[in-house]
Amino acid sequence: DIQMTQSPSSLSAFVGDRVTITCRASQTIKNYLNWYQQKPGKAPKLLIYAASTLHSGVPSRFSGSGSGTDFTLTISSLQPEDFATYYCQQSYSARAFGQGTRVDFK
């Protein structure tokens, strides 16, 4: 089974900061990598699919990159509504998620 490892598990940041979250797969997954945002008590929302394609309606301050085994999610200028938990998910074989990265106020 493909394992997904995110880092860091949590981070604290100010509004306006640039934030980067990384996700590593245990084997190559091409660009079959999705990113989701989840707020407390809510279902996850799709942010990015195919490693770097922004889902419809997602602000352009979110971006994704990577292929093979190493991927990143970047928020160029953190906004108050971006404080949430972020998950990567591989869709190469089955659909395993990373353990999540919680982004909160510094």
Q: Which of 95, 99, 75 is nearest to 87 (CA)?
A: 99
Name the residue type at position 44.
Answer: P
Which residue, 17 or 91, has its beta carbon nearer to other proteins? 91
One of 25, 34, 69, 73 touching other proteins (CB under 8 A) = 34
> Does residue number 46 form part of the binding site for other proteins (CB under 8 A)?
yes
> Does residue number 43 form part of the binding site for other proteins (CB under 8 A)?
yes
- Cα–Cα distance for residue pair 53/104, rounded to 1 Å: 25
One of 54, 55, 63, 65 touching other proteins (CB under 8 A) = 55
Burial 77-102 (b: 16+ CB within 10 A, else e): ebeeebbbbbbbbbeeeeebebebbe
Contact positions toward other proteins, by CB under 8 A?
1, 30-32, 34, 36, 38, 43-46, 49-50, 55, 87, 89, 91-100
